[in-house]
Amino acid sequence: MREAIDDEAPLDAPSDDSFLQHIDETELEHALKPVRTSNRPALWPLMERRIKARENTDLQVHIGDELIHCHLLPLQCFSEYFERQVTPGQAVVELPEQEIRPAAFRIVYEWILDSNQPLEWQHFVAVLSAAEFLQVPALIERCWLHLDNPRVVENVAFYVYMQAQQFATSNELQTMMLRRICRYFLALVSTPEFCELSLADLGVLLSSNIIAIFDETDVLYAACQWLLYDWLDRKELIEDVMCLVRFKSMHTGDLARLCVFHECTELQPILRHPATKQLVDEALAYICSPRNIAGSSERATTGDGRKRSSAERVRLVPDSLETLAYVTGEGSFNEFKIFLHVMQKKPTIWRTFRVSEENAGLLDDMVGCTEAN
């Protein structure tokens, strides 16, 4: 049997009568050298076309009631979850719908196949949640570039917050968005969504120096509004909520009125609560102390030489018919509710609110709030 010829081996020495005496390797190499390169199509474009067309998929992703056909290899290239948790040959992967919506997964998969795929604003939060669960660092970074920008403030920030509430992995995003609410604060208080905030999220919002108010009584009344919305379940939270109010920032006259319970009937259980009474008494003692009167307590000098309290919030300037009518009134809870009703009737009126120049330095705590003005 003739042995197979090794293409790489040199020609054997020919015998005296062999044909090989008439030819050598140099001649063969010169004669048989390709005259042009191969015109075979490149492999990757063909594979890419088939992958994007979902041909011969090898993985089914099951989310809720939906089954999505995919190729595992592209997912493993970008997702640490698929790289670590899914093995080649595994036919089906179950993903939790509370973390990843089917529509969001499709967007993630399309982005993996084409990084130029646009992300629609309606899906930013859902895609971010999916990308975080699937551990897709490049897509997480891109989502944050969209969400952490100077235009995502005020009512837009609260919209993002509401979207983020649907996902367990979005606590950081929720907190960041609540801290981007400035002039929109009082308009937000006029909505049922404010009253439906959790105690933790209410704490984040009312602890912010950025929320813009006419006076600290606005925060007190907002806190009361939240408590009264679900009084039977929340009356045990009076102390926790009242601690969010900065009574020491109130005017002496307002504190004195609270001290003698000169308010509407529905606020009496809150104002007469021992925790509230103690906070009011401490605030009065603080304001009336000689040290505070001398102006030396809790003062910090800003870069331009102005002095302000370290616990001061952003203040609004009343310069419209509606705001002037509100701030020149009695300052009661009933008038506060009337002002909230005005904002319900005129949902864009908050855009006309002007922040006091004396508090402009406080806006440095929030990205883009100055632009929002």
Identify whether 322 is part of a domain: yes
Longest dimension (CA), the chain: 129
Task: Indicate the number of domains in the chain.
Answer: 1
Kindly state the average pLDDT of the residues 236-260.
91
Q: From CA 228, how far away is CA 246, in angstroms rounded?
A: 19
Identify whether 196 is part of a domain: yes
Identify whether 52 is part of a domain: no
Residue 251 φ/ψ region, left for φ over 0, alpha for ψ in the -120 to 50 degree band, beta for the rest: beta
* Structural domain that includes position 225: 189-294+311-348
Identify whether 235 is part of a domain: yes
Q: From CA 2, how far away is CA 13, in angstroms rounded?
A: 17
What pLDDT does residue 296 have? Answer: 43
Q: Which helix (H) or strand (E) holds 173?
A: helix 171-178
Identify whether 316 is part of a domain: yes
Kindly state the average pLDDT of the residues 128-157.
91
pLDDT over 90, % of the chain = 54
Residue 202 in contact with residue 226, Cβ under 8 Å?
yes
Identify whether 276 is part of a domain: yes
**Position 367 confidence tier, pLDDT thresholds 50, 70, 90:** very low
Does the pLDDT at position 305 exceed 70? no
**pLDDT tens, residue by residue, 21-32:** 777 788 777 777
Distant-in-sequence contacts of 156-164, Cβ < 8 A, 24+ apart: 157/181, 157/184, 158/184, 158/188, 158/193, 160/124, 160/125, 162/193, 163/124, 163/125, 163/126, 164/125, 164/129
Which residues does 158 contact at the CB level (< 8 Å), separation at least 6? Answer: 177, 178, 181, 184, 188, 193
Residue type, 93: V
Does the pLDDT at position 333 exceed 50? yes
pTM of the shown model: 0.79
What pLDDT does residue 308 have? Answer: 44
**The token pair that represents 102 in the structure block:** 């089917």
